[in-house]
Amino acid sequence: MKLFTNLYKLFRPLDASHHLAFSIIPFIFIDKLSLSMIFVVFTVFLASMFNFGLNNAFDIDTDSKNRIKQNKNPFVSKETKKYQLYLALFLVFFIDIMVSFFLFGKTTFYLILAILFGAFYSVPPFRFKKRFVFDMIFHGLAAIFFMLFSFFVTSINSNYLIPSIIICFLISTLFNFENQINDYDADKNANLKTTVVMIGKKISFFVYLILFIVLYLFSIVIIKEKLPLFLLILGFTAFSIQVTNLVKIFLKTGKIEVSQFSYLYYPLYIFAGIIFIQKFIYTIL
């Protein structure tokens, strides 16, 4: 039982599920859903879990100094033998690549590149997660190649390629800012040169909100023909209210409520959900 618990901590499937957004972005631009999309999401999910596991394997130095993360990283807690954790990492990687090659052939190249850039982000001597600006770039590149894998598997109109890349990079950067703001104190104490540590927590908070606004406005322009105008306005209004609340809390207390960041995504989730329901209905009819 303890082994399974530590494997869950190793692969962080809940965090990996958030990265499925990168593979789902291209689906917005297709007319009909297909079975291949399920396998695309599955292979990206396994690859994301592998990247999170790899990140844990090389975060021993910093996580061992963080009381919160000590019990979340099985390489630090040492409750499971290291060879078992490395074996689990290899098996997930091997199964993922084999399934992808069998189903999608040469397009697996993009999935491998996503994993490779994830490794550049986490693994020494590169370990770009500790380097100013490069942390955002390489996290974004890994996300973009996940998206490209999905994009080319589903053979989407090339006119949507650049918009998909922009949306993907914005979401990736937001995810990274959110994580780094949350880890600011631990990263600063560990003397890491992350983007948030270098520019400061307060500035990062406002950069994060500005990027979110850009994401919303750009997304609305892209999907304006797929949803009623009143719904887009309603969603952006709800988002704006949440942004205003976060800024008010910060101005009054000086605190950045990272726990409330997730609410900013809700209107986008609703937009995507409605679009996919429409596509599902169109597919079965």
pLDDT digits (tens, 9 = 90+) for 197-222: 999 999 999 999 999 999 999 999 99
Please, where are the H alpha helices in the chain?
2-11, 13-18, 20-24, 36-57, 60-63, 67-70, 74-77, 82-104, 108-122, 134-153, 161-182, 184-189, 195-199, 201-223, 229-253, 266-284
Intervals of CATH 1.10.357 along the chain: 1-163
The answer, yes or no, to whether the previous bond of 125 is cis (omega within 30 of 0) is: yes
Does 258 have pLDDT greater than 90? no
State yes or no: pLDDT of 154 exceeds 90: no
CA atoms within 13 A on the CB side of 5: 8
Residue 116: pLDDT over 90: yes
Q: Chain-wide mean pLDDT for the chain?
A: 92
Decide if pLDDT at 68 tops 80.
no
Which carries the bigger pLDDT value, residue 62 or residue 17?
Answer: 17
Question: Is the per-residue pLDDT at 163 higher than 80?
Answer: yes
Residues 91 and 267: their CA atoms lie apart, in Å, by 37
Closest CA to 48 of 109, 85, 3, 96: 96
Q: Which residue has the higher pLDDT, 35 or 215?
A: 215
How many angstroms separate the CA atoms of 172 and 101, rounded?
Answer: 26
User: What average pLDDT does this structure show over 243-250?
Assistant: 94
For domain 1-163, give the CATH number.
1.10.357
If pLDDT is split at 50, 70 and 90, which confidence band does 283 have? Answer: confident
- Give the CA distances from residue 102 to residues 39, 94, 141, 168, in Å, rounded to whole numbers and listed in that order: 11, 12, 25, 26
Q: Average the pLDDT over 113-136 and give the result.
A: 95
Assess contact for 108 and 133: CB atoms under 8 A: no
Q: Looking at residues 145-150, what average pLDDT do you find?
A: 97
Distance CA 40, CA 21 (A): 12
Q: How far apart are CA 279 and CA 39, in angstroms?
A: 18
Per-residue pLDDT, 284: 82
